[in-house]
Structure 1
Amino acid sequence: MNAERYMVRAPGKLFVAGEYAVTEPKQDSLIIAVDRYLSVDIQANRSNRLDLPQLKLTDISWKLDEEKVTFSVQDQRLNFIKHVIETFIAYAGEQSPVHIFVTSELDDRSGKKYGLGSSAALSVALMTALLKFSTNSQAAKDPLTIFKLASIAHFKAQGNGSCADIAASTYGGWLNYRSFDSDWLIAQLNQAQSVSALVQSDWPDLKITPLKQPEELHFLIGWTKESAQTAPMVAKVRNLKTEQPERYQAFLQDSQRAVEQIITGFQQGEVEPIFAGITANRAALKMIGTEAGVPIESPALTKLIEAVSTHGAAKTSGAGGGDCGIAFVSDPADCEHIYQLWTKAGIDPLDIHVSTDGVVIY
């Protein structure tokens, strides 16, 4: 029996700019990996076994039937894992049995959810672990292969999404991300294109470009203590595409201009374009939220943002409606003052920073 054992760790993510628009073709976004991680411990076992103790899912076995996974228990929370394993098998073939043990620090120990992208980190860490343990272990060293395989699994599980969070968990750091053509991927999957062929293909429109944080830029994260249901909010915004196409296109243009301004600031190492772009992206998101009837900027997030107004720039992160907000300042002395304002407003400053590493194998 294979005596190898590996620990694989993938970071969570936060959106910085370009939310909602990033699901459309040729729309830029900015996303970061954060230093909170999901870990997968994988080792040889007599039979396939899975443990996720933090979800109270333990001693779960699975069987394969024509590359389809059947777990010993039925639980919707296993859906992403099922599709990751099936995508891996379609790519690398059936391998020797393993024991997989999953732990996460992406949410608070008390159960508070911050919105750091646990499903993406799980998909990336588990896919990397399976690849490393397989006869095709070299693939575990190639971030683009990992990204593509995790994205295929994601689309099989969910059917949509930008996969920006998968890029963050795979590559780490600050990323200028532009999504691949999702219609193309769906068409390939519907045509039963092989997973190996898909991995080897050039994915239309995909862009993953690392960025360097300017030395004068300081990045803060605050948590509103509110959670948000992302899917209904995204669906309402997407409805504007057919109901009010002109306003939807205006939003896409505003978002793209704002993100380009932020990226220029990163490329030039200057904070003022970043502040201006963050402020412009906030305005675009508020507009589309109002038009769609979606509370992207909740009252708590507005308090978080306004506390920063005289120091730098701030906005919602991700779908909004709750979870985290982000802020940028140039003077390190402002950080503590903003934290005090946030705390007074009932917002928790989070001791979370950018993770320069993406998925790592130990």
Structure 2
Amino acid sequence: MPIKIKVPGKLMIAGEYAVLEPNQYAIVAAVNRYVYADITPSNQYKFSLPDLGFETVSWVSNSHSIEFSETDEKLQFVQNTIMIVKDYLNEASIHLSPFHLTVTSELDDPSGKKYGLGSSAAVVVSAVSSILALAQKQTDSFHVNKDLIFKLAALAHVKTQGSGSGADVAASTYGGWLEYSAFQADWLLDQMEQKSSVRALVDQPWPYVSIRSINPPAELRLCTGWTGKAASTGPMIKQLKHGQQEHRNIYHTFVEESHEAVEGLIRGFDQNNLPLSLDSLKKNRAILVKLGKEVGMLIETPKLASLSELAEQIGGSGKSSGAGGGDCGIAFVRSQRQAEQLWEAWREAGIEPLNLTVDHNGSTWHE
């Protein structure tokens, strides 16, 4: 009988870009669009990614690598994930019999629209969760927890992407609204180079990482709108890193101001203070817009500006979500009635409201 896995996507709420720096916080939420996986014993190691056009890919492993029956850059996330989890389990003296892993996603629209809900991170978390769940089923003494899933998935994601905060990995793993402070990707890559043991790296504390579940004010309604244009996080981060060298004072000021805005939003959540939450989100938007203008990056597109301004016109606040440059924007409003007003205004402006709610379960599985 297959083990079935369900992993949510994510929305970045606040703290983008600054979260890449030590001791800087972001707020991220898991949402009710999912990546699904199932894993079952098989006569050979194989996996299926039908959404990417891979019906069945077989693989063989030796002590140092995994060889796939197909070669494609799109398979790198899965390849690195399987290798890292396999190494971890081998070091724990757990040897899995062959399995067939199938992963499907509803994070993007069936028509091909890409919403920017953290697809690669959710796929990696689903693959890690699947293999660990099978190991737990086959090994009485082995028990999976979400901290282990998060660390293994973060290792695979950073190894493949070379950068990132891991906030999307955390949301897909733990679920809910999270206050998140990131590891340093460069440190993690260095540790992977230096350490021969995945288990030792997973077991040691990771500097700067902090993950705490938080809850928004009771009346707050989260709205999400898609601008009609897909964006890619990796190139945006590289562009900022390049600009960071040229505009050090600007970037330093941005990080300080972002810290203040995100701290205000966290306080608003912790104190059930809706006005403070709305004001802090508005401040975070202004800080990101200013950064984009000063370093020559289009973080807030005209559609994202319209999305936020329409939210402000009815007494809410809004901003881009994630790297910006397209994809989704978010808004906080004070009631369901305001949310419905905003959705209608967005439609008239050519912005597609998305029916997203916060998922509080994170990665789950059952037989």
Same fold (TM over 0.5): yes
Normalised to the residue count of structure 2, the TM-score between the two structures is 0.95
- Alpha carbons of structure 1 residues 115 and 267: separation in structure 2 relative to 1, 3 Å: same
Q: Unaligned 5+ residue runs, structure 2?
A: none
Is 1:228 matched up with 2:228? no
Is 1:359 matched up with 2:363? yes
CA contact (8 A) 1:132 1:139 kept: no
1:246-261 equivalent positions in 2, closer than 5 A = 246-261=249-264
* Equivalent residue in structure 2 for 1:5, among 2, 5, 14: 2
Q: Distance in 1 between matches of 2:197 and 2:248?
A: 36
Q: Distance in 2 between matches of 1:136 and 1:236?
A: 46
Aligned equivalent of 2:108: 107
Q: Distance in 2 between matches of 1:142 and 1:196?
A: 14
CA contact (8 A) 2:8 2:172 kept: yes
Aligned equivalent of 1:47: 44
Is 1:16 matched up with 2:3? no
Aligned equivalent of 2:181: 178
SS at match of 1:141: coil
Q: Distance in 2 between matches of 1:304 and 1:140?
A: 45
The one-letter code sitting in structure 2 at the alignment partner of 1:333 is: R
1:185-224 equivalent positions in 2, closer than 5 A = 185-224=188-227
CA contact (8 A) 1:236 1:293 kept: no
* Equivalent residue in structure 2 for 1:64, among 61, 66, 76: 61
Q: Distance in 2 between matches of 1:288 and 1:8?
A: 39
Aligned equivalent of 1:124: 125
| CA deviation after TM superposition for structure 1 residue 136, in Å | 5.4
Q: Distance in 1 between matches of 2:215 and 2:55?
A: 41
Q: How many pairs does the alignment contain?
A: 359
SS at match of 1:308: helix
| CA deviation after TM superposition for structure 1 residue 139, in Å | 6.0
SS at match of 1:227: coil
- Alpha carbons of structure 1 residues 138 and 119: separation in structure 2 relative to 1, 3 Å: farther
Q: Distance in 2 between matches of 1:106 and 1:172?
A: 15
| CA deviation after TM superposition for structure 1 residue 145, in Å | 0.8
Normalised to the residue count of structure 1, the TM-score between the two structures is 0.96
The one-letter code sitting in structure 2 at the alignment partner of 1:30 is: I
Is 1:321 matched up with 2:318? no
**RMSD of the TM alignment (CA)?**
1.3
* Equivalent residue in structure 1 for 2:349, among 341, 345, 348: 345
Aligned equivalent of 2:275: 272
- Alpha carbons of structure 1 residues 139 and 33: separation in structure 2 relative to 1, 3 Å: farther
Q: Distance in 1 between matches of 2:13 and 2:192?
A: 30
The one-letter code sitting in structure 1 at the alignment partner of 2:87 is: A
- Alpha carbons of structure 1 residues 137 and 10: separation in structure 2 relative to 1, 3 Å: farther
Q: Unaligned 5+ residue runs, structure 1?
A: none
Is 1:287 matched up with 2:290? yes
Q: Distance in 1 between matches of 2:284 and 2:254?
A: 10
Aligned equivalent of 1:297: 300
Q: Distance in 2 between matches of 1:214 and 1:141?
A: 32
The one-letter code sitting in structure 1 at the alignment partner of 2:190 is: A
Q: Distance in 2 between matches of 1:230 and 1:172?
A: 21
Alignment deviations for residues 117-155 of structure 1 (CA, whole Å, 9 cap, x no partner) = 111111111101101111557766311111001111112
SS at match of 1:151: helix
